[in-house]
Amino acid sequence: MPELPEVEQVRISLLPHIKGKTICKTEVRLPRMIKHPSVPEFMAGVEGKRVTDITRKGKYLTLMLDDGRYIMVHLRMTGALLILPRDFQEPPFAKIRFSLTGGLDLWFTDIRTFGTLSLCGGNDPWQDKGYAGLGPEPLSQEFTEEYLKEKLKNSHQMIKSFLLDQHKIAGLGNIYADEALAMAGIRPTRFTDKLTRMQMRALHEAVNLVIAQGLKNHGTTFRNYQDADGHMGNNKDFLMVYGRKGMPCKTCGTALKQIKVAGRGSVYCPHCQK
């Protein structure tokens, strides 16, 4: 499940292949993945346009086009963007194909088909609500310790729910939320306004650290995630808790517990996390 580090790795691996290339032809095999506008408008709007850059905020990717409009992509659970030579064997679960100048195809593949694409900008006032409401990203200038403390104090919810809320912090998903809590020594069920100043400080540092580590390791490949070149990330080996239910805590050896918080499996160490 691509979170900030995985989406960033997709951006980095994709950029050199498609920057400056023109989309000559599109093929939409699963229309409902086009969130906005209609499929014909989407196709007509992107064909003949040159991709000038790719940006990312949170888990959203934005392919900038040379007419000022842009394609906004969300990979959700199992979406992937793959670059393959034209008329190479097509990838499994292929849902959308962008044929580019220079003999390459950009494929959007998706097993569970939750991924979305939109065409925005120009004269079209439509905005993606999820994107518009994104909070600051970890490691950004806006994501200060003060910002986090303020938000934590002013909300009354379980910390796991808080970390998954993209309005509060953009880019964390289930993996990095659990990892940040493990590193900060905080239980997923703790209420945000009951955290000590020390815990808030530790959490701010932990969020930045787990994201930085994920970026450094080119993302976490647990099941399906791969970058535009089909490469896996190797951050899985560094995870403290995610996917390690029942296994010994890497710090104290206690068996890790799994509970459900905010509808998500949440793994933590009952000894190290208070």
Partner DNA sequence: CCGTCCTCCTGGCCGC
Partner DNA sequence: TGCGGCCAGGAGGACG
Q: Which residues bind DNA (CB under 7 A)?
A: 1, 3, 32, 58-59, 74, 76-77, 111-114, 128-130, 155-158, 161, 164, 166, 173-175, 223, 258, 261-265
Among residues 24, 25, 28, which one has the least CA distance to residue 37? 28
Give the shortest CB-100-to-DNA separation in angstroms: 27
- Grouping H, G, I as helix, E, B as strand and the rest as coil, residue 4 is helix
Give the shortest CB-53-to-DNA separation in angstroms: 21
Q: Give the C-alpha separation, 174 to 259, whole Å.
A: 13
Quick one: 100 or 172, whose CB is closer to DNA? 172
Give the shortest CB-197-to-DNA separation in angstroms: 19
Active site residue 146: no
Give the shortest CB-251-to-DNA separation in angstroms: 21
Angle at 262 between CA 140 and CA 138, to 5 degrees: 5
Active site residue 3: yes
Active site residue 257: no
DSSP 112: S
Buried b (16+ CB within 10 A) or exposed e, 38-54: eeeebbebbeebbbbeb
Quick one: 22 or 113, whose CB is closer to DNA? 113
Question: Do 116 and 128 form a contact (C-beta atoms < 8 A)?
Answer: no
Quick one: 52 or 213, whose CB is closer to DNA? 213
Amino acid at 9: Q
Among 47, 245, 264, 270, which one carries the catalytic annotation? 264
Active site residue 69: no
Which residues are designated catalytic? 2-3, 59, 264
